């Protein structure tokens, strides 16, 4: 027995952390010393208590969300496809509009259509803009007439004769508006161009998020 | 990192090092609870421990390219331990307790003070474990850290030395003194050792 109660070494001995020579020395001492054996047993039991401590559970998720959500990649693909489709529809609707434009006799056709639409809108507009409408008489008709004239001024005079002044002229214009159905908004190229830009920008933003370093 | 084959682990680590966030999340999730219990017993409150672990895991992700040498688990524990001790220092919740007091030879082999309930039979019982938990909480933080890393997490002394950035002799000393303090707390409650 080369050691005098190797108390300070007992924990390391218990953990097998001593050098082989020191381990053997402590072992030799323990064989002959009941007190050190009791202390070693206490340390071992203390270790067992520590290992048996309850395992607390965190109340929330502690692993930070580093990966983007799983739905991000499919959404990016969807937005890309939507953008492409919208570009295609933009081109298609532009072509269709141009075909209609040509079939309608050049620029006058389109402008006449637009002008008549404006005229109808003006006729149907509420008179709220006029705070004191007259009870009866020429004032409302005159207002509608003025609006119709304004719209008609935008027409090419050579293609479409100006609307006749008075109630008869406004009625003609109204009949024109009602006789020609309004074009479907789906044929509006600007709608598709807007959608193409929005979905394209969204797809780019999602792509950047997917590739962004955290 | 219980139950994970080494090859799978290395694959995940390699993927994480190349920027695979899901691989890192998988690795972190395996150690989440162990890191939490470790941090909780260092900082003392659940919300602080959660913050410490989240912060440590985020920090680990940002510096994963520099990971080398240690086992991945020890590396995570090193970051979390440092965060927890930093948190404790900044908070100064217990200014009366230095983090690592000078060696105190007074922590020795106390003997049972009086006959009391035989806590030997209560191993795993709430009362004995509450005594141990309280005694742990009263240890100096760095002694407590070393003891937790050894007896709760099962790290070898060499890893504990790296995790806590001290010499292995200091690790031995801290673990032994920590165990003695816990043992003495049990003795003070009438425990007479495993042989009664």
In this model, does residue B31 exceed pLDDT 90? yes
- B43 contacts on A by Cβ (under 8 Å): none
Structural contact between residues B174 and B146, judged by C-beta atoms closer than 8 angstroms = yes
Among candidates A10, A50, A58 on the partner chain, residue whose Cβ is nearest the Cβ of B147: A50
High-pLDDT (> 70) share of chain B, %: 79
A109-117 average pLDDT score = 48
Looking at CA atoms only, how far is residue A48 from chain B in angstroms? 8
Q: How many CB atoms lie within 10 A of CB B138?
A: 13
Cα B26 to the center of its chain, rounded Å: 22
d(CA B158, CA A143): 95
| A17:B151 CB<8 A | no
- Return mean pLDDT, chain B: 83
- In which band, very low, low, confident or very high, does the pLDDT at A90 lie, cut at 50, 70 and 90? very high
| A58:B33 CB<8 A | yes
pLDDT for position A212: 59
Q: Give the predicted TM-score (pTM) of the model.
A: 0.62
- B21 contacts on A by Cβ (under 8 Å): 66-67, 214
Report which of A197, A187, A194, A190 is spatially closest to residue A92, judged by C-alpha positions.
A187
pLDDT for position B110: 52
- In which band, very low, low, confident or very high, does the pLDDT at A180 lie, cut at 50, 70 and 90? low
Among candidates B62, B132, B148 on the partner chain, residue whose Cβ is nearest the Cβ of A49: B132
- Return mean pLDDT, chain A: 73
**CB contacts < 8 Å between A and B, how many?**
117
Among candidates A8, A42, A64 on the partner chain, residue whose Cβ is nearest the Cβ of B58: A64
| A50:B123 CB<8 A | no
| A56:B46 CB<8 A | yes
| A55:B33 CB<8 A | yes
d(CA B49, CA B53): 6
d(CA A36, CA A31): 9
ipTM associated with this complex: 0.83
Structural contact between residues B120 and B194, judged by C-beta atoms closer than 8 angstroms = yes
In DSSP notation, B101-166 reads PPP-TT-------S----GGGGTTSHHHHHHHHHHHHHS-HHHHHHHIIIIIT---HHHHHHHHTS
């Amino acid at each position: 027995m080369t050691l005098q109660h190797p108390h300070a070494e007992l924990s390391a001995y218990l953990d097998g952390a001593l050098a082989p020579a020191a381990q053997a020395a402590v072992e030799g001492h323990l064989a002959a010393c009941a007190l050190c054996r009791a202390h070693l047993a206490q340390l071992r039991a203390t270790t067992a208590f520590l290992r048996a401590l309850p395992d607390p559970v965190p109340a929330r998720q502690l692993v930070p969300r580093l990966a983007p959500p799983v739905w991000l990649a499919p959404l990016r693909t969807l937005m890309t496809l939507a953008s492409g489709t919208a570009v295609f529809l933009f081109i298609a609707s532009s072509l269709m509009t141009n075909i209609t434009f040509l079939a309608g006799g050049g620029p006058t056709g389109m402008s006449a259509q637009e002008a008549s639409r404006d005229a109808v809108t003006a006729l149907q507009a509420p008179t709220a803009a006029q705070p004191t409408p007259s009870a009866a008489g020429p004032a409302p008709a005159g207002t509608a007439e003025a609006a119709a004239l304004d719209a008609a001024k935008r027409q090419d005079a050579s293609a479409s004769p100006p609307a006749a002044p008075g109630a008869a002229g406004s009625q003609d214009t109204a009949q024109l508006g009602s006789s020609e159905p309004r074009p479907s908004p789906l044929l509006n190229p600007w709608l598709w161009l807007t959608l193409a830009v929005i979905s394209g920008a969204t797809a780019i933003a999602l792509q950047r998020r997917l590739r962004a370093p955290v | 990192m219980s139950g994970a084959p080494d090859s799978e682990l290395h694959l995940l680590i390699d993927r994480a090092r190349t920027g695979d966030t899901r691989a890192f999340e998988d690795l972190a999730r395996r150690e989440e609870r162990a890191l939490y219990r470790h941090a909780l017993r260092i900082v003392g409150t659940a919300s602080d421990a959660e913050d410490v672990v989240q912060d440590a895991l985020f920090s680990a992700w940002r510096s994963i390219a520099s990971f080398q040498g240690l086992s991945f688990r020890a590396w995570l524990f090193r970051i979390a331990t440092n965060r927890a001790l930093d948190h404790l220092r900044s908070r100064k919740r217990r200014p009366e307790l230095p983090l690592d007091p000078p060696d105190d030879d007074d922590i020795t082999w106390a003997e049972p003070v009086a006959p009391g309930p035989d806590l030997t039979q209560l191993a795993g019982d709430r009362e004995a474990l509450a005594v141990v938990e309280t005694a742990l909480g009263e240890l100096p933080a760095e002694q407590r850290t070393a003891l937790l890393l050894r007896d709760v997490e099962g790290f070898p002394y060499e890893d504990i030395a790296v995790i806590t950035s001290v010499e292995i002799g200091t690790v031995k000393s801290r673990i032994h003194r920590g165990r003695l303090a816990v043992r003495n707390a049990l003795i003070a409650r009438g425990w007479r050792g495993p042989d009664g």
